[in-house]
């Protein structure tokens, strides 16, 4: 058989996607706010309509996580996200009368979005919607383990966006991701920004690419429970949060640090909520099983606590949600002090809250700096000391960290991409949000009082989207006049056809009941 | 400055031009000097060609679509380089790997009904194959084409075209090759009504005539007449195929399934000569009756087949189609706004996708525009058979930035050409 040197077929196609995205971005950047809102809502709704289906498909494809929890995230990152940003505007120029500055938002352009296997659909939806809100084109490259479900998610969003008037090609996705393909797109000069969520290797190569990039580092979340905490509430929140999606999020708690004075009460409360306290022998078995030779075995990613216990030959109650593994010292050679993408929670007792802060710092020295931490306390001074002492950019207070740091149970920006800032080798320290994907052109008037800022109220440089974009290239002698849309007749027919189709579909739904 | 190309070298552009006249083609060489386009293409890359002087030009002539995908498209170059490690031209006597693979790919993307592929080495040969095929299938000799048609320069093809190219070589054959006016259905019917016509051959948009657009329904009616009077319909898609109209084949936009379809030029990315004729079962008979009926050593050269497979794949991508729609929209709108500036001079825009014929209000108007465009870094050619009209054919893979630059250059050049014509007019009168 001849072996001809042929570039993997996906790579040239991916480059073609970038070229198409450039065209889409150029057009999208002229859309006005109502057009953008319509597109964003349509894409979000399309994903939300499939939230549960895609959640199940993600679990089936990747083999980890909890479908119900994923469905919740899918909703939070689609219609939930749109609700959150309902009153935000990344399109209309802003006028600062006092500063005599008018600010015109400029989209990033072409966004290359890498999405992880742990949070596949929610992150795909999240990044697509951020791109749409800010009028950029986006190419999604899913993690290979979740490529089918992510492609399906991107496709329904793309179709809905297009039907709502988005320019053709504004949402594209890589159906067969590969390392050469990702490298080719990351280093493609036509990509305006890479938004990388995933393993450190992916994030580091995004930063090495030579293109602007927003990538975030890993988490390893310490949580402190001090003597002033509402113990039953803290225990309930931590068990719920640690078991959320079987702990595959970077925001799931890793090590709980508890003041000795309340430790027994706290552990009992956790057991009451579905925690299972491992004795030292069982703890060692779990450590050996989950971290053979000190390295995390990815077989356990996102698996149920009961399954992991059974693998270790440990009998646990059927309702067990989290395995609690006590240990003494958070140091690099202690596997239990590392990030555990499964419902195994480290437990360290400390004599004082001050010592607890030192332990939290120790956990983050291993990995996870810049990411997130949590504290359960009623003492403002301790909370402040924790926030100032622990090198993270968000601390969830009296709330589970999984949905706290991702802004779903707190008022942080709801996000599937947690900026780890300079401490975590990232360019962004906040939760990724639409504002990170635009820059502003500032029209700065002469500060001299004699130079007056004219009235910009109501002015907009953008236009409403009409018809299909781009229009179908009909021969020029088929249109009656160049100004009239050549297919006005057809459009009306198409619209009627579409309405008819929707009605038929609805009737089917009703009949199926 | 010496120009050393490794295999040969020249002291200067003047030396090239002198030797070009001495050893190659004095008439053609002098023509371009006289036209104010003293171009000797040196470096070429993407949609840019460079004169020996280093002057850069955006190519919107693309040799009739040969360079649809840009000059030396890296994907096509790499495909050919790779192919050459295993294949050569091949042996036309035998079944072949690459010819079979390309034929299957061509048929997969062809208008419905086309089932087999015959290969040539260039467009003219392919047209001759198409005409011979029609004659065999119908057992009739006459071929109807349009006045001012252009289908190439080989024995039969040249007879279908304007006598500008046949008379010179005493090759007109008016009895077997009647010409009827374009867009004239009555004349077409008159030519066909005797039922003695083997085929009508038609470029979907006649290129060398300056892209006059078929009237709505014209091609469809011609096809219906062919059916009524037992003639085959041959679609010459050499210039209108391969996504230039925003669909892979221009004829598809008319819903026509031709009996025979010819492709060439852009099919192999301008890197290796090859052409192909796609035929339906009605026309394919000779391939079974006598498979050696048409022989071509270089026809369907296997290296060319791989270049064509790659080019066809690029042209067929949804991304390419989408971009062509965008480019078509931007260039169309841009040209209309230039037209708004000079309505008395820039009098018409014929457009279908990225095929444009720009009409100017002077019998030689396109030559003036061509010269000014050349001066301003754009290469576009006048229509040989209607020099009022400039052929303007932007590439399929243009970036938004380059389209904007192209429109900037065109706006200035078209304006200056208008002044040139006005000055020339004053001098003449």
Q: Domain ranges in chain B?
A: 35-62+318-428, 87-316
Which of 2.60.40.10, 3.90.1150.10, 1.10.10.10, 3.40.190.10 would CATH assign to domain B35-62+318-428? 3.90.1150.10
Q: Which residues of A touch B78 (CB under 8 A)?
A: 7
Q: Do A232 and A311 lie in a common domain?
A: yes
Q: Which residues of B touch A192 (CB under 8 A)?
A: none
pLDDT average, residue stretch B256-276: 97
pLDDT average, residue stretch A455-463: 93
Closest residue on chain A to B355 (Cα) = A475
Q: Which residues of B touch A6 (CB under 8 A)?
A: 79, 82
Asked if the structure places residue A372 within a domain, the reply is yes
Asked if the structure places residue A40 within a domain, the reply is yes
Q: Do A134 and A199 lie in a common domain?
A: yes
Are B400 and A13 inside 8 Å of each other by CB?
Answer: no
pLDDT average, residue stretch B238-260: 97
pLDDT at B425: 81
Give the one of A5, A16, A23 whose C-beta lies nearest to B82's C-beta. A5
- Note whether A190 and A491 are within 8 A (CB): no
Q: Does A311 touch chain B (CB under 8 A)?
A: no
Q: Does A489 touch chain B (CB under 8 A)?
A: no
Q: At A241, phi and psi to the nearest 5?
A: -70, -40
Nearest alpha-carbon partner for A344 in A264, A267, A265, A242: A242
Q: Do A324 and A198 lie in a common domain?
A: no
Give the one of B78, B320, B352 whose C-beta lies nearest to A473's C-beta. B352
Are A5 and B85 inside 8 Å of each other by CB?
Answer: yes
Q: Which residues of B touch A7 (CB under 8 A)?
A: 75, 78
Closest residue on chain A to B250 (Cα) = A475
Residue A232 Cα to chain centre, angstroms: 30
Q: Do A260 and A373 lie in a common domain?
A: yes
What is the distance in angstroms between the Cα of B76 and the nearest Cα belonging to chain A?
11
The CATH number for A104's domain is: 3.40.605.10
Q: What is the CATH number of domain B87-316?
A: 3.40.640.10
What's the rounded Cα separation, in Å, for the pair A347 and A255? 6
Q: Does A4 touch chain B (CB under 8 A)?
A: yes
Q: Do A259 and A211 lie in a common domain?
A: no
- Cβ–Cβ pairs < 8 A, chains A and B: 83
Q: Do A250 and A304 lie in a common domain?
A: yes
Are A477 and B215 inside 8 Å of each other by CB?
Answer: yes
Q: Do A210 and A279 lie in a common domain?
A: no
pLDDT at A489: 43
Are B319 and A477 inside 8 Å of each other by CB?
Answer: no
Asked if the structure places residue A461 within a domain, the reply is no
What's the rounded Cα separation, in Å, for the pair B393 and B385? 17
**Is A5's pLDDT higher than 70?**
no
What is the distance in angstroms between the Cα of B338 and the nearest Cα belonging to chain A?
13
pLDDT average, residue stretch B104-126: 97
Are A473 and B329 inside 8 Å of each other by CB?
Answer: yes
Max Cα-Cα span within chain A: 86
Mutate to test the interface with B, among A9, A23, A482, A489 (most CBs of B within 10 A): A23
What domain count does chain A have?
3
Q: Do A404 and A491 lie in a common domain?
A: no
The CATH number for A357's domain is: 3.40.309.10
- Is residue A151 exposed (0-12), middle (13-18) or buried (19+ Cβ within 10 Å)? middle
What's the half-sphere exposure (Cβ side, CA atoms, 13 Å) at A72?
12
ipTM of this predicted structure? 0.92
**Is B339's pLDDT higher than 70?**
yes
Summarised one tens digit per residue, pLDDT across range A295-309 is: 999 999 999 999 999
What is the distance in angstroms between the Cα of A178 and the nearest Cα belonging to chain B?
19
Examine domains B35-62+318-428 and B87-316 and report if their fold is the same: no
> What are the residues whose beta carbons fall under 8 Å from the beta carbon of B160, sequence distance 6 or more?
B127, B131, B143, B145, B149, B151, B177, B179, B201
Q: Do A250 and A389 lie in a common domain?
A: yes
Asked if the structure places residue A243 within a domain, the reply is yes
What is the distance in angstroms between the Cα of B349 and the nearest Cα belonging to chain A?
8
Closest residue on chain A to B215 (Cα) = A477
What is the distance in angstroms between the Cα of B420 and the nearest Cα belonging to chain A?
28
Asked if the structure places residue A483 within a domain, the reply is yes
**Is A511's pLDDT higher than 80?**
no
pLDDT at A200: 86
Are B78 and A7 inside 8 Å of each other by CB?
Answer: yes
Are A473 and B322 inside 8 Å of each other by CB?
Answer: no
pLDDT at A479: 66
Residue A126 Cα to chain centre, angstroms: 6
Asked if the structure places residue A429 within a domain, the reply is no
Residue A383 banded pLDDT, cuts 50, 70, 90? very high
**Is B227's pLDDT higher than 60?**
yes
Mean pLDDT of chain B: 96
Q: Do A281 and A379 lie in a common domain?
A: yes
Are B400 and A23 inside 8 Å of each other by CB?
Answer: yes
pLDDT at B429: 58
Q: Do A391 and A331 lie in a common domain?
A: yes
Are B352 and A475 inside 8 Å of each other by CB?
Answer: yes
pLDDT average, residue stretch A213-226: 94
Q: Is A250 a catalytic residue?
A: yes
Residue A488 banded pLDDT, cuts 50, 70, 90? very low
Domain extent for A272: 221-413
Mutate to test the interface with A, among B322, B328, B396 (most CBs of A within 10 A): B322
Residue A199 banded pLDDT, cuts 50, 70, 90? confident
Q: Does A473 touch chain B (CB under 8 A)?
A: yes
Judged by CB atoms within 8 Å, which residues 431-460 of A form the interface with B? none
Q: Do A378 and A507 lie in a common domain?
A: no
pLDDT average, residue stretch A275-303: 95
**Is A506's pLDDT higher than 90?**
no
Mean pLDDT of chain A: 92
Closest residue on chain A to B404 (Cα) = A26
Closest residue on chain B to A17 (Cα) = B319
pLDDT average, residue stretch A277-294: 96
Q: Which residues of A touch B249 (CB under 8 A)?
A: none
Summarised one tens digit per residue, pLDDT across range A396-405 is: 999 999 999 9
pLDDT at A500: 53
**What is the share, in percent, of chain B residues with pLDDT greater than 70?**
99
**Is A378's pLDDT higher than 70?**
yes
Mutate to test the interface with B, among A475, A477, A481 (most CBs of B within 10 A): A475
pLDDT at B303: 97
Closest residue on chain A to B244 (Cα) = A473
Summarised one tens digit per residue, pLDDT across range A26-35 is: 999 999 999 9
What's the rounded Cα separation, in Å, for the pair B226 and B235? 12
Interface of B with A (CB under 8 A): 75, 78-79, 82-83, 85-86, 213-216, 245-246, 253, 314, 317, 319-320, 322-329, 332, 336, 349-354, 397, 399-400
What is the distance in angstroms between the Cα of B352 and the nearest Cα belonging to chain A?
4
**What is the share, in percent, of chain A residues with pLDDT greater than 90?**
87
What is the distance in angstroms between the Cα of A13 and the nearest Cα belonging to chain B?
8
Q: Which residues of A touch B75 (CB under 8 A)?
A: 7, 12
pLDDT average, residue stretch B348-365: 97
Give the one of B214, B314, B323 whose C-beta lies nearest to A20's C-beta. B323
pLDDT at A4: 67
pLDDT at B290: 96
Residue A482 banded pLDDT, cuts 50, 70, 90? very low
Q: Does A471 touch chain B (CB under 8 A)?
A: yes
What is the distance in angstroms between the Cα of B314 and the nearest Cα belonging to chain A?
8
What's the rounded Cα separation, in Å, for the pair A223 and A397? 9
Q: Which residues of B touch A484 (CB under 8 A)?
A: none
**Is A481's pLDDT higher than 60?**
no
Residue B271 banded pLDDT, cuts 50, 70, 90? very high
Are B246 and A477 inside 8 Å of each other by CB?
Answer: no
What is the distance in angstroms between the Cα of B35 and the nearest Cα belonging to chain A?
30
**Is A459's pLDDT higher than 80?**
yes
Residue A160 Cα to chain centre, angstroms: 21
């Amino acid at each position: 058989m001849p072996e001809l040197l042929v570039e993997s077929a996906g790579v040239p196609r991916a480059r073609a996607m970038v070229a198409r995205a450039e065209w889409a971005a150029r057009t999208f950047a002229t859309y006005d706010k109502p057009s953008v809102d319509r597109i964003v809502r349509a894409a979000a709704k399309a994903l939300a309509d499939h939230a549960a289906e895609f959640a199940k498909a993600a679990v089936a494809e990747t083999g980890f996580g909890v479908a119900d929890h994923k469905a919740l995230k899918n909703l939070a990152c689609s219609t939930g996200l749109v609700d959150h940003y309902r009153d935000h505007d990344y399109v209309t120029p802003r006028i600062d009368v006092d500063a005599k500055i008018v600010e015109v938002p400029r989209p990033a352009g072409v966004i290359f979005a890498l999405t992880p296997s742990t949070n596949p659909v929610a992150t795909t939806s999240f990044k697509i919607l951020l791109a749409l809100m800010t009028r950029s084109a986006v190419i999604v490259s899913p993690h290979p383990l979740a490529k089918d479900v992510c492609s399906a998610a991107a496709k329904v969003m793309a179709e809905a966006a297009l039907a709502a008037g988005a320019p053709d090609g504004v949402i594209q996705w890589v159906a067969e991701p590969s390392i050469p393909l990702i490298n080719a797109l990351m280093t493609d000069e036509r990509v305006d920004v890479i938004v990388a969520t995933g393993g450190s290797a992916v994030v580091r190569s995004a930063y090495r690419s030579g293109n602007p990039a927003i990538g975030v580092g890993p988490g390893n979340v310490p949580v402190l429970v001090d003597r002033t905490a509402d113990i039953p509430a803290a225990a309930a929140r931590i068990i719920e949060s640690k078991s959320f999606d079987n702990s595959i999020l970077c925001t799931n708690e890793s090590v709980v640090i508890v003041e000795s004075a309340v430790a027994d009460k706290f552990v009992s409360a956790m057991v009451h909520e579905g925690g299972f306290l491992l004795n030292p022998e069982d703890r060692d078995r779990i450590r050996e099983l989950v971290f053979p030779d000190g390295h995390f075995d990815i077989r356990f990613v996102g698996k149920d606590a009961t399954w992991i216990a059974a693998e270790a030959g440990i009998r646990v109650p059927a309702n067990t949600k989290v395995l609690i593994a006590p240990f003494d010292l958070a140091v690099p050679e202690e596997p239990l002090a590392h990030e555990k993408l499964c419902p195994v929670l480290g437990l360290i007792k400390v004599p004082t809250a001050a010592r607890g802060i030192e332990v939290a710092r120790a956990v983050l020295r291993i990995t996870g700096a810049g990411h997130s931490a949590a504290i359960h306390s009623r003492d403002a001074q301790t909370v402040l000391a924790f926030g100032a002492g622990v090198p993270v950019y968000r601390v969830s207070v009296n709330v589970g960290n999984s949905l706290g740091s991702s802004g779903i149970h707190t008022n942080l920006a709801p996000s599937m991409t947690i900026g780890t800032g300079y401490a975590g080798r990232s360019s962004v320290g906040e939760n990724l949000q639409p504002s990170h994907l635009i820059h502003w052109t500032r029209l700065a008037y002469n500060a001299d009082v004699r130079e007056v800022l004219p009235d910009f109220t109501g002015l907009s440089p953008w236009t409403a989207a009409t018809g299909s974009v781009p229009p179908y290239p009909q021969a020029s002698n088929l249109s009656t006049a160049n100004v009239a849309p050549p297919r006005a007749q057809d459009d009306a027919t198409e619209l009627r056809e579409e309405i008819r189709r929707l009605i038929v579909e609805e009737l089917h739904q009703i009949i199926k009941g | 400055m010496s120009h050393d190309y490794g295999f040969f070298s020249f002291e200067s552009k003047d030396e090239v031009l002198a030797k070009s006249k001495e050893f190659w083609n004095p008439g053609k060489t002098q023509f371009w000097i006289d036209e104010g386009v003293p171009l000797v293409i040196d470096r070429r890359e993407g949609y840019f060609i460079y004169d020996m002087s280093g002057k850069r030009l955006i190519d919107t002539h693309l040799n009739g679509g040969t360079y649809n995908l840009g000059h030396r498209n890296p994907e096509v170059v790499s495909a050919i380089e790779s192919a050459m490690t295993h294949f050569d031209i091949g042996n036309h006597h035998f079944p072949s790997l690459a010819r079979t693979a390309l034929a299957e790919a061509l048929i997969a993307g062809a208008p419905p009904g086309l089932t087999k592929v015959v290969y040539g080495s260039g467009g003219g040969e392919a047209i001759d194959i198409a005409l011979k095929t029609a004659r065999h299938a119908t057992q009739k000799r006459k071929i109807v084409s349009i006045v001012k048609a252009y289908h190439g320069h080989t024995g039969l093809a040249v007879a279908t075209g304007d006598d500008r190219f046949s008379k010179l070589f005493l090759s007109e054959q008016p009895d077997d090759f009647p010409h009827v006016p374009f867009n004239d259905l009555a004349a077409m019917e008159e030519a066909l009504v005797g039922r003695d016509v083997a085929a009508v051959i038609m470029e979907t948009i006649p290129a060398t005539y300056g892209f006059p657009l078929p009237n709505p329904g014209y091609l469809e009616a011609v096809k219906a007449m062919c059916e009524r009077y037992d003639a085959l319909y041959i679609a010459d898609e050499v210039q209108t195929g391969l996504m230039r109209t925003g669909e892979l084949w221009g004829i598809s936009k008319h819903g026509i399934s031709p009996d025979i379809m010819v492709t060439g030029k852009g099919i192999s990315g301008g890197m290796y000569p090859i052409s192909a004729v796609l035929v339906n079962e009605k026309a394919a008979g000779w391939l079974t009756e006598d498979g050696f009926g048409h022989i071509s050593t270089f026809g369907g050269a296997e290296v060319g087949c791989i270049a064509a497979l790659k080019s066809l794949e690029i042209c067929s991508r949804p991304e390419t189609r989408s971009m062509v729609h965008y480019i078509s929209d931007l260039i169309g709108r841009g040209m209309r706004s230039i037209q708004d500036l000079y309505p008395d001079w820039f009098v018409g825009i014929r457009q279908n996708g990225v095929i444009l014929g720009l009409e100017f209000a002077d019998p030689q108007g396109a030559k003036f525009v061509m010269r000014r465009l050349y001066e301003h870094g754009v290469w576009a050619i006048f229509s040989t058979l209607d020099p009022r009209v400039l052929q303007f054919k932007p590439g399929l893979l243009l970036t938004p930035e380059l389209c904007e630059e192209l429109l900037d250059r065109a706006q200035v050049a078209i304006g200056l050409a208008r002044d040139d014509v006005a000055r020339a007019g004053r001098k003449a009168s």
